[in-house]
Structure 1
Amino acid sequence: MERWKGMLYLFGAFTLAGTSVITAWLLNGKLGAFTITAISLLLALMILVPMRLQALVRTLRRRAGTNWRQLLLQAVFGMFLFRMFMLFGLSHTSAAEAGIITGATPAITVVLASLVLKERVNRFSLLGIASTVSGIILIQGLFSQDYSFTVQHLIGNVLVLCAASSESVFNILSRMSSTKNDGRSQQPVDPVVQTTLVSAIAFLLCLIPAGFEHPLRSLAGIAWEEWLALIWYGPFVTALAFVFWYAGIRRCDASTAAAFSGMMPFTALVLSVVLLGQRAGVEQWAGGLLVAGGMVLIGVNQKRIGGERNIGKSGLNLNTAKRT
């Protein structure tokens, strides 16, 4: 039951995360990248801090130095670098392509989970990774007859790919933190409190560079549509999505999170076509199908591993019963 809860939380987290691509595209060019991140985090903190103020104070009193390092790394990769790469990347590529390229997150997460967490990778995972990489190459239009190399476009896609990589590193860091806490039998940190701490650290990281973007003057010049986008980017994409994420990752392993991260590119692609009126060409849709196929293969792999684990546990219980 807990695992199903975790998967439901992860579904919500990555669906909301997919809307960040559209929100960032709407705000891009109206405000500086660091200003967008700082204001959205501030709006999120205005909701999160009052919500769990007492629990936040208790957590601050008992956190050790190692935990602070983990929170700092999560803030750097999960919020700061992810948003910087995404916002700068969207200056050179479309929201539709950016949404598809974030589909590389599952493959990168599986590779990191194998190297860092020693999670098993079988042929389904390898096929999923190969499918994802092929899809990303196809999205670039390298095999099109009328293909023309555009440095700016390529730079934009590479930056979005860096954002996907940052998201994958964040996934692994979160799982490592959850596993260490379980191993030490520590009381798990409330997801809202953990989101608050990580958001506060990321906010502090953005303050100085945002100051060079003349934020007050920029904010005074935006319309109500941009303010609505900032509000969505803060309390929903930041606060709610990360609360769902921390609630889900403590119940599921990194490979399960990798499979559900496929909701991010799917949501971004659909919204970019429906809301923004952007068009995706045949090669982009074909690349998207390959990326989606990679996510399905990775998800099938996780389901098989989960079944094998259950069988192993049943066998272990049976052997124990025989011995007794």
Structure 2
Amino acid sequence: MNRLKGKLYLLCAFSLAGTSVVSARFVTEKLGNFTITAVSLIFALVFLVPLCSRQLIQYFTQMSFRNFRLLVLQALCGIFLFRMFLLSGLHNTSAGEAGILTGATPAITAILAIAILREPVSGRKLSGIICTVTGVLVIQGVMVPGSGLTLEHVGGNMLVLCAAACESAFNTFSRIFAVKASTQSTMPSNPISQTTIVSAIALILCLIPAAFEHAMKRLAAIGLLEWMALLWYGVFVTALAFICWYAGIKRCGAFTAAAFSGMMPFTSMLLSIILLGEKADWRQWIGGVLVIIGMILIGSKGLNTISSVNKNTKMTEKERVTE
């Protein structure tokens, strides 16, 4: 039952995260990247702080410096760098294509799980990684002669892939933090407090670069639609998605999270077609199918094996992380 709850939390987390590509599309042409991130984080904190004001101070004071450092890395990779690369990439590529390219996250997460968390690799997982990489190359037009992609378009796609890599790093750091927290009885897991602290750290990182983007002048010029997009980005894409993420990752392993991260391209591509009126060509569909197949191959066996590893010995996992 606990594993099922974890999977449902991850499903919700990545479905909400997939809306980031579309919601960002409404404001990328009118606001600077760091301004978008900073304002959305302010909305997130306004939503989060009242929910955990009593537990937040206690949770923070019980945290070791090493765990705090992991939260800083999560804020840096999962919010600051992820959004910087994603928002920059959206200037030169479509929301639908960017959404599909975030499907590289499962493969990158799987590679990091093998390299850092020492999780075992099988032929199925390796095939999934290769399939995902092939799908990304097809989307990029590398395997299609005369695809006609401009250098700017390819550059935009590469920035989105960098965002996917940052998301994968965030997934890995979060899993390490969850394992460490599970072995420390003095520091119970608190997804809302974790989300609040990570959001506050990311906001601090964004404030200085946002000041160079003429934030106040540009914010005064946007309309209701853009403000609603920023509100959605803060409350749903950041606050609720991260709460679900932290609640899910403490119950599931890295490969399980890698599998469910494939919901990001599903959600973003669907919404870009419905809300933005974008169309996917045959290259994007073929690449998207390959990415999805890779996601299934990576996650299908991992959904059971990682959970069984967690059940058998928590100490083994702890030793893997601390090595």
TM-score range, shorter chain: over 0.9
Q: 1:212 to 1:243 in 2, by over 3 A?
A: same
* 1:103-142 deviation line (CA, Å, top 9, x unaligned): 0000000110011001111011011001100000100123
Give the TM-score, by structure 1 length: 0.93
Q: Distance in 2 between the 1:265 and 1:24 partners?
A: 15
Q: How does 1:140-179 map to 2 (within 5 A)?
A: 140-179=140-179
Q: Secondary structure at the match of 2:265?
A: helix
Which amino acid in 1 is paired with 2:190? D
Give the letter aligned to residue 262 of structure 1.
G
1:183 is aligned to 183
- Classify the secondary structure of the residue corresponding to 1:27: coil
Report the Cα distance in structure 1 between the residues aligned to 2:308 and 2:184, rounded to whole angstroms.
Answer: 26
Contact 2:62 2:187 in 1 (8 A): no
Identity value in percent: 54
**Given residue 30 of structure 2, which amino acid in structure 1 is its aligned partner?**
K
Q: Is it true that 1:112 corresponds to 2:112 in the alignment?
A: yes
Aligned residue number for residue 95 of structure 1? 95
Residue 261 of structure 1 aligns with which residue?
261
Give the conservation status (yes or no) of the 8 Å contact 2:105–2:262. Answer: yes
Distance of 2:310 and 2:41 partners within structure 1: 41
- 1:122 and 1:15 map into 2 onto residues whose CA distance is 27
The residue aligned with 2:132 is 132
Partner of 2:36: 36
The Cα shift of 1:61 comes to: 2.2
Q: Which has the greater radius of gyration? A: 1
Do the aligned partners of residues 227 and 119 (structure 1) sit closer, same or farther apart at CA in structure 2, a change above 3 Å counting? same
Q: Is the 8 A contact 2:43 2:231 kept in 1?
A: yes
Which segments of 5 or more consecutive residues in structure 1 lack a partner in the other structure? 314-324
1:65 deviation in Å?
Answer: 1.3
Q: 1:66 to 1:279 in 2, by over 3 A?
A: same
Q: CA deviation at 1:305?
A: 2.1
- C-alpha contact 2:59 2:187 (8 A) present in aligned 1: no
Find the counterpart in structure 1 of residue 85 from structure 2: 85
Q: Tell me the equivalent position of 1:232.
A: 232
Give the aligned partner of residue 321 of structure 1.
none
Query: For residue 295 of structure 1, what is the amino acid of its counterpart?
Result: M
Between Structure 1 and Structure 2, how many residues are aligned?
313
CA distance in 2, matches of 1:46, 1:184: 29
RMSD: 1.7
Map of 1:289 onto structure 2:
289
1:205-259: per-residue Cα shift (whole Å, max 9, x none)? 0000000111111111001000000000001110000000000000000100000
Amino acid at match of 2:212: F
